[in-house]
Amino acid sequence: MKSTIRCAIALLGGMSASVAMAQSSVTVYGLVDTGLVYTTNVNAAGSSAVKMPSLTGSFPSRLGFKGVEDLGGGLQAIFTLEAGLAVDTGAMGQGNRLFGRQALVGLKGGFGTVSLGRQINMTYIATLKSDVLGPNLFSIGSIDSYLPNARSDNSISYLGNFNDFVVGATYSTGRDASATGGPAATGCPGEVAGNSKACRQITGLIGYETKPFGLNASYDILYGNTGAAGGLTSSDNSDRRVTVNGYVMVGEGKIGGGVIDRTTRAVTGLTESDLYYLGVSYPVTPLTTLDVQASHLDVKHRDADATLLVARLTYYLSKRTAIYGALGRMQNSGTSALALDAGGTVGVGKSQNGVMTGLRHTF
């Protein structure tokens, strides 16, 4: 009899554990990606360089944790903690932050998702499906380093999808607390008493997205304050981006493109530009994908335009592991000095050619 009772208790305990696991789960995931890159004209003397990139390869490396708890009635509690990694040195990314890519907690249901913390904003989400290269080492992120780093500290976010209509917005009380860590760091922590605009940021998104095609538009304005980067040293200074992005599937391939209109009101004056991009992604074979993209930056009222051409070929050794190679050319004119590789250097007005190869593994 005692043995039977013990077995019943053990069975009930096991059933309780199974129910608890079904209601709540935590996933550990990551991506490790690095390689080698060769670029020309890295300085005014026209020197070339070979290096292992730090910021990204075909994708930035990361380690993350995602959790979800079923609260009943279709409501879930969620969290994400994601750390950026520099594989070349083993250092943490995003200014040596522990969870610099994402650190958020939220609620998800039929109404959409509401979350709080450091998280990607609507400018980041807007180009996810239309930019065929994404955060590649050679990409539109080399022209505008904010695009692959469009995250906001101290933010509350909403994102919903209703019958393929997508709407979202973020509001940040202090958009970036870090002053170190490469192009993502702007040193504007905000939350200043008596100054409701200091380091605030607002982003919004509206679109219609299906599997065959999609179109969206986003709005992003960030304000400055004392000590902030990019000449935004006053809360009266601002950096605004308005984007229109789209994609269409053609057979097994995808065509994606868009335009990013930017207006910066800094202490150095007004700067206006338009960034156009158009790309094609096509699976040449079941295991090989070719991505090609052309981009052009049109800077208003001064000679500082740039044109970027990139081709990338990826071969999948498995669902999780891939090798890739890419060719790129950045053509600078006038006073432009945009490097082909993200985080790299180039001589003023010099065109730059590059080749890269690498290995990526996801888990």
DSSP annotation of 45: T
DSSP annotation of 129: T
d(CA 161, CA 315) in angstroms, rounded, equals 33
- CATH says 25-362 is which class? mainly beta
Q: What is the pLDDT of residue 279?
A: 98
Which of 19-28, 76-85, 202-211, 271-280 is least confident? Answer: 19-28
Q: What is the pLDDT of residue 180?
A: 82
Instruction: Answer whether 329's CB lies under 8 Å from 351's CB.
Output: yes
- Assigned token pair, 17: 């554990």
pLDDT band for position 74 (cuts 50, 70, 90): very high
> For the residues 250-265, what does the mean pLDDT come to?
98
> For the residues 286-294, what does the mean pLDDT come to?
98
φ, ψ for residue 93, nearest 5 deg: -90, -175
Asked whether the predicted pLDDT for residue 354 surpasses 80, the reply is yes
For residue 3, what is the enclosing H or E element? Answer: helix 2-23
Asked whether the predicted pLDDT for residue 171 surpasses 70, the reply is yes
pLDDT band for position 12 (cuts 50, 70, 90): very low
Question: Could you tell me the pTM of the whole model?
Answer: 0.91
Residues in the chain: 363
> For the residues 252-256, what does the mean pLDDT come to?
98
Asked whether the predicted pLDDT for residue 356 surpasses 90, the reply is yes
CA distances from 189 to 170, 231, 349 (A): 16, 15, 34
- The residue among 46, 4, 76, 31 whose CA lies nearest residue 347 is 46
Instruction: Answer whether 189's CB lies under 8 Å from 153's CB.
Output: yes
> For the residues 53-76, what does the mean pLDDT come to?
97
Beta bridge partners of 269: 266
Domain ranges of the chain: 25-362
pLDDT band for position 16 (cuts 50, 70, 90): very low
- Assigned token pair, 212: 């065959």
Instruction: Write b or e for each residue in 59-92: b if 16 or more Cβ atoms lie within 10 A of its Cβ, otherwise e.
Output: bbbbbbbeebeeeeeeebebbbbbbbbbbeeeeb
Q: What is the pLDDT of residue 183?
A: 75
CA distances from 229 to 117, 122, 225, 238 (A): 22, 21, 9, 11
Asked whether the predicted pLDDT for residue 19 surpasses 50, the reply is no
Asked whether the predicted pLDDT for residue 8 surpasses 50, the reply is no
- The residue among 327, 330, 362 whose CA lies nearest residue 348 is 330
Beta bridge partners of 296: 276, 307
- Assigned token pair, 129: 């499906």
> For the residues 315-322, what does the mean pLDDT come to?
98
Q: Per-residue pLDDT tens for 172-228?
A: 999 999 988 777 789 999 999 999 999 999 999 999 999 999 999 999 999 999 999
Q: What is the CA radius of gyration of the chain?
A: 23
Instruction: Answer whether 225's CB lies under 8 Å from 243's CB.
Output: no
- The residue among 260, 261, 265, 262 whose CA lies nearest residue 228 is 265
Q: Per-residue pLDDT tens for 113-169?
A: 999 999 999 999 999 999 999 999 999 999 999 999 999 999 999 999 999 999 999
Q: What is the pLDDT of residue 54?
A: 92
Beta strands in the chain (DSSP E): 24-39, 49-51, 61-72, 75-86, 91-92, 102-109, 112-120, 151-162, 165-172, 201-209, 213-223, 238-250, 253-266, 269-285, 288-299, 306-316, 321-332, 352-362
Residue type, 9: I
Q: What is the pLDDT of residue 95?
A: 86
Asked whether the predicted pLDDT for residue 13 surpasses 80, the reply is no
What is the residue-averaged pLDDT of the chain? Answer: 93
58 three-state secondary structure: coil
pLDDT band for position 63 (cuts 50, 70, 90): very high
Asked whether the predicted pLDDT for residue 280 surpasses 60, the reply is yes
Residue found under tokens 């522990």: 98
d(CA 233, CA 72) in angstroms, rounded, equals 47
d(CA 106, CA 108) in angstroms, rounded, equals 7
Q: Where does residue 279 rank: exposed (0-12), middle (13-18), buried (19+ CB within 10 A)? A: buried
Asked whether the predicted pLDDT for residue 272 surpasses 70, the reply is yes
Q: What is the pLDDT of residue 23?
A: 82
Asked whether the predicted pLDDT for residue 2 surpasses 50, the reply is no
